[in-house]
Chains A and B, each alone.
Chain A
């Protein structure tokens, strides 16, 4: 039994890691889209960004998760805490990463923007060769911070799930032991 629960614990840990990685990847992709919105020339789009970040950062993660879990009937029953947790974390880290990226873009010194414009660089080249490398350099520590936080959240899920699994399996084993015991005593196994 102890060996079994250790295996379950590690399994829980591995699953947590994979889901956290998924949340981070999803969050980063969402954040790139959001950051683009933050710098849109349309005020309406920028407002949508500000509102999104305001709501997602102003609400506790638990509340966001519960809103998704309870109030989105299409998702809750079938998917369970893992998928809902990943989804919430994509939404949450999306906002956090977007603010990090936005800060990185604002940190680029103005003469470098102007050099790029003065060289007549087309937008794609400007993004690929100037914006992405510089923003990556500026934002790496903050980005890593958010990743660490995401892993931390998933370890909670992992730990809780591991306990849950251990208890469930324990009860299950107990149940089967009882059944065998009862069968030996002449009771026909009652199978649902």
Chain B
């Protein structure tokens, strides 16, 4: 069947899947950034054991494949009495995984902040939490924008793995359509194009934000 016909027939089906991809990606991205900030806070304020705990967490999630937490949470949570829907499990797994990477990105940016600023903050009597909130965090987030952009793009692509737990996002949709109609080329090329659009959109969004914020 011709390409245009395919698109007109299955357009709406793809649209739903696209929304699922976008929603999970957005939710996981926000969650991962917040979780990464919390991990950073723990690292900075927890003294020796805080930093070690966060390091252990990061090592754990860095050295295991992304699919593992997804499967684990999806299959194990019902067994411990938390029968959450697949979407929640998948998003949670993505948050835990990417939060580790986000905290590493933020850690790199913290080192870029001049030590002098901490001395200045202490000498005006600023409490640690306020120092973190008003001095560390804003600068760290601004410095991290390019690297965070990269990470969010990776997260966006990782949403395709949620197809493994039967969430009907773009990749799952492509598989379903292939099984239904046998038209593998059409099914997957449309999905690839949609991913490219999402990825480009995200990259542009981060570039624009980076430029805008640097002006301030």
Say if the two chains contact directly (CB < 8 Å).
yes
Interface residues of B, dominant DSSP:
helix
- A71-B195 contact, Cβ under 8 Å, with A58-B200, A61-B157, A62-B160: no
Residues 33-65 of chain A, each 1 if its beta carbon lies under 8 Å from chain B, else 0? 000000000000000000000110111111110
Residues on B with C-beta less than 8 A from A67 are 184, 188-189, 192
Contact B175 A54 (CB under 8 A): no
Contact A62 B163 (CB under 8 A): yes
Interface size class of A (residues with CB under 8 A): 10 to 19
Contact A66 B67 (CB under 8 A): no
User: Chain B: residues with CB nearer than 8 A to chain A?
Assistant: 63-65, 67, 157-161, 163, 170-171, 174-175, 178, 184-185, 188-189, 191-192, 195-196, 199-200
Residues on A with C-beta less than 8 A from B157 are 59-61
Cβ of A89 to closest chain B Cβ, rounded Å? 13
Contact A152 B178 (CB under 8 A): no
In the assembly, what is the distance between CA of A61 and CA of B163, in Å? 13
Residues on B with C-beta less than 8 A from A58 are 195-196, 199-200
Q: Which of B160, B170, B189, B196 contacts A54 (CB 8 A)?
A: B196
Contact A153 B196 (CB under 8 A): no
Contact B184 A70 (CB under 8 A): yes
User: Chain A: residues with CB nearer than 8 A to chain B?
Assistant: 54-55, 57-64, 66-67, 70-71, 152-153, 155-156, 159
- A66-B185 contact, Cβ under 8 Å, with A54-B196, A58-B200, A60-B157: no
Closest to A68 in B: B188
In the assembly, what is the distance between CA of A166 and CA of B66, in Å? 23
